[in-house]
Amino acid sequence: MSAAIGSLTDRLDGALALVTAASNDLRGGCVVGFHTQCSIEPVRYALWLSKANHTYRVALFADHVVVHFLDVGDHDLAALFGGTSGDDVDKFDRCDWEPGPGGAPFLTGCPNRVVLRRVSLWDDGSDHVCLVGEVEDVRVVADFAPLRLSAASDIEAGHAAQDRPLPDDVSANGEPSTEHPPIDLASLDRATRDGLEDIAAGSGHQIDLSPPDAT
Ligand SMILES: Cc1cc2nc3c(=O)[nH]c(=O)nc-3n(C[C@H](O)[C@H](O)[C@H](O)COP(=O)(O)O)c2cc1C
């Protein structure tokens, strides 16, 4: 079935976008093919993020995301944001950007964009989560020709959709476990807390384990 859908969506040849977000001192950004306007009044825009992506884990805790619409000349940017992961490289070290609402990066080379204030998040148990946002700002420049799926067929996604930690194969100490003793949050170091949040995010759960005094 997925091959049949693939051949259909290949023919539709949708325009690609690049989503950015910031939260908890982290920035994230990835290429998305799954995005669309989804309400007229009020105007809403939806996008789908893979639970495997660093960007998803950042967006889970973000109030705002920015959707940049890629131009035909943006193949290099698409390769950076669609072909590498923020888990391994700092993409924002390799492009020009400035902080937007809630710290969500504006990519200065990508002027066609919408700013979304997150309204809802929908997890139906599949490998992508739908984020719906109220459109707070829109910017469009003349002579914009979208970069389409067909022009990015040479880019291998930085994370495959199934490439994520799941509770069955990961526990707090990284070993498979059938026992779940209570966790003393105050005793956890930041890296361990971040790791547990990532594991929860991999299953679609927004869990903030930061102690009350950590801002
Ligand atoms: C053409 C193309 C379309 C993609 N569409 C989506 C998408 O709709 N949603 C998504 O979450 N990831 C999508 N990806 C995958 C991410 O962009 C890719 O795995 C990225 O490296 C993730 O980076 P991150 O881990 O820093 O978030 C797409 C990648 C490509 C090349």
Rank 154-163, 181-190, 204-213 by mean pLDDT and report only the highest.
Answer: 154-163
pLDDT band at 178 (very low <50, low <70, confident <90, very high): low
Enumerate residues lining ligand 1, CB below 6 A. 16, 28, 30-34, 48-50, 53-55, 82-87, 149, 152, 155, 157-159
Cβ pair 58, 206 in contact under 8 A: no
Using CB atoms within 10 A of its CB, is residue 28 exposed (0-12), middle (13-18) or buried (19+)? buried
Task: List the chain domain ranges.
Answer: 2-152, 165-215
Read off the tokens for 31. 């290429």
Q: What is the mean pLDDT of residues 95-117?
A: 97
Q: Looking at 40-49, 171-180, 192-201, which range is the least confident one?
A: 171-180
Q: How far does the centroid of ligand 1 lie from the alpha carbon of residue 158, in Å?
A: 7
128 CB neighbour count, 10 Å cutoff: 20
Q: What is the mean pLDDT of residues 57-84?
A: 97
CA 103 distance to own-chain centroid: 15
Q: Is the pLDDT of residue 179 over 70?
A: no
Read off the tokens for 177. 């476990």
- What is residue 207's predicted lDDT score, i.e. its pLDDT? 78
Angle at 66 between CA 11 and CA 55, to 5 degrees: 80
Q: What is the mean pLDDT of residues 117-140?
A: 95
Higher model confidence: residue 18 or residue 209?
Answer: 18
CATH superfamily placement of domain 2-152: Electron Transport, Fmn-binding Protein; Chain A (2.30.110.10)
Closest CA to ligand 1's atom 16? 82
